[in-house]
């Protein structure tokens, strides 16, 4: 798959939207709901969305890799909510080696994922989604509170197989009935660089709704960094290093030894 666009601003919905005065399914306490109409957004039509590449919209928090004081660093979006003062993005970076824990499709098996230690320099100017135990309610069921699991996923890296046409009813049925549809949403990467999306909530559907497609995919751990090179012998890098070469039947089955 070609390198797809980074997400550096809010994307428009692939359909025209309307606001309804009813309790939001997405945000607690919000007394209105943004829903899709059946009319395709002219922005999507102009960008030839029917020829776009469809990728999975991931449910986490957005991060960005760029240079600071001559070295690549991972930056996370600041959330000013007082109950969300966390820095879980720091747990996926080892500063001694300058590497990040990245979840990505396996090059050897189209259905499988791998988690790898990737140099931050290889991720420069990319946006990525931080997912895991303590992010957004953990829809992918990663780890547990005593042994949290977090990782980064490059935006546009997880493709959607056999996506339906950009049609309201066909998309809604796909999200409801297809095993491939157990995702938060779809992002379409158009040839001219335009990005458009649809979220299950736009179509009046719940999220999460049972186990997810991502969480049920097989996983290979490919973190072969030597323990004596790491900043800590007890952090996520060290734990994944001890599992190097291990295969899990599902991503959500990953657990570290106590």
Contact call for residues 87 and 193 (beta carbons, < 8 A): no
Tens-place pLDDT, residues 181-195: 999 999 999 999 999
Residues written for the chain? 258
pLDDT at 3 over 60: no
The answer to the question of residue 10 being in a domain is no
Spatial separation of the C-alpha atoms in residues 117 and 221, rounded to whole Å: 9
Q: Which range marks the domain in which residue 165 is found?
A: 15-56+158-203
Residues 108 and 228 in one domain: yes
Q: Give the pLDDT score at 1.
A: 43
Residues 101 and 178 in one domain: no
Q: What tokens appear for 216 in the block? A: 């049920």
**Residues 158-174: what's their mean pLDDT?**
97
Spatial separation of the C-alpha atoms in residues 53 and 161, rounded to whole Å: 10
Tens-place pLDDT, residues 193-223: 999 999 999 999 999 999 999 999 999 999 9
Residues 35 and 77 in one domain: no
Q: What tokens appear for 147 in the block? A: 């042994």
Q: Give the pLDDT score at 95.
A: 84
CA separation (Å) from 84 to 205, 246, 247?
Answer: 26, 33, 33
Tens-place pLDDT, residues 51-76: 999 999 999 999 999 999 999 999 88
Residues 75 and 150 in one domain: yes
The answer to the question of residue 255 being in a domain is no
Residues 47 and 145 in one domain: no
Contact call for residues 23 and 34 (beta carbons, < 8 A): no
Residues 172 and 90 in one domain: no
Tens-place pLDDT, residues 14-54: 999 999 877 666 656 666 788 999 999 999 999 999 999 99
DSSP string, the chain: -PPPPP--SPPEESEEEEEESS--SSSTT---EEEEEEEEPHHHHHTTGGGSEEEEEP-SEEEEEEEETTEEEEEE-----TT----GGGGGEETTTTEEEEEEE-SS-TT-EEEEEEEGGGGTT-EEEEEETTSTT-TT--S-SSS--EEEEETT-SB-SSPPPS-HHHHHHHHHH-GGG-SSEEEEE-TTS-EEEEEGGGGT--SS-SS-TTTTS-EEEE----GGGSS-SSSHHHHHHHTTT-EESSGGG-----
Q: What tokens appear for 220 in the block? A: 């290979």
Q: Give the pLDDT score at 2.
A: 47
Closest CA to 120 of 58, 157, 71: 71
Q: How many domains does the chain have?
A: 2
Q: Give the pLDDT score at 79.
A: 60
The answer to the question of residue 172 being in a domain is yes
Question: CB 255: neighbour CB atoms within 10 A?
Answer: 14
Residues 223 and 104 in one domain: yes
Tens-place pLDDT, residues 222-258: 998 877 777 666 778 888 999 999 999 999 999 887 5
CA separation (Å) from 123 to 8, 50, 65, 99, 126?
Answer: 15, 29, 6, 10, 6
Tens-place pLDDT, residues 83-136: 554 577 788 998 888 999 999 999 889 899 999 999 999 999 999 999 999 999
Residues 28 and 41 in one domain: yes
DSSP string, 76-117: E-----TT----GGGGGEETTTTEEEEEEE-SS-TT-EEEEE
Q: Give the pLDDT score at 78.
A: 62
Residues 48 and 78 in one domain: no
């Amino acid at each position: 798959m070609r390198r797809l666009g980074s997400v550096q601003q809010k994307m428009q919905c692939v359909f025209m939207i309307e606001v309804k005065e009813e309790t939001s399914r997405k945000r607690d306490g919000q007394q209105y709901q943004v829903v899709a109409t059946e009319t395709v957004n002219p922005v999507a039509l102009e960008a030839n969305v029917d020829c776009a590449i469809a990728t999975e919209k991931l449910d986490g928090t957005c991060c960005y890799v760029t240079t600071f004081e001559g070295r690549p660093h991972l930056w996370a979006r600041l959330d000013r909510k007082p109950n969300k003062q966390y820095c879980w993005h720091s747990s996926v970076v080892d500063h001694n080696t300058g590497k990040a824990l990245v979840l990505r499709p396996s090059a050897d098996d189209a259905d499988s994922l791998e988690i790898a230690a990737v140099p931050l320099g290889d991720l420069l100017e990319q946006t990525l989604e931080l997912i895991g135990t303590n992010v957004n309610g953990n829809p992918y069921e990663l780890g547990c509170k005593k042994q949290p699991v977090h990782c980064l996923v490059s935006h546009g890296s997880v493709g959607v197989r056999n996506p339906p046409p950009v049609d309201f009813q066909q998309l809604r049925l796909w999200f409801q009935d297809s095993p491939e549809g157990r995702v938060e949403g779809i992002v379409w990467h158009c040839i001219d660089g335009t990005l458009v999306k649809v979220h299950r909530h736009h179509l009046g559907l719940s999220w999460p709704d049972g186990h997810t497609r991502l969480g049920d995919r097989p996983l290979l751990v490919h973190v072969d960094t030597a323990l004596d090179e790491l900043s800590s012998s007890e952090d996520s890098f060290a734990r994944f290093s001890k599992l190097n070469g291990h295969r899990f039947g599902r991503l959500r089955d990953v657990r570290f030894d106590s």
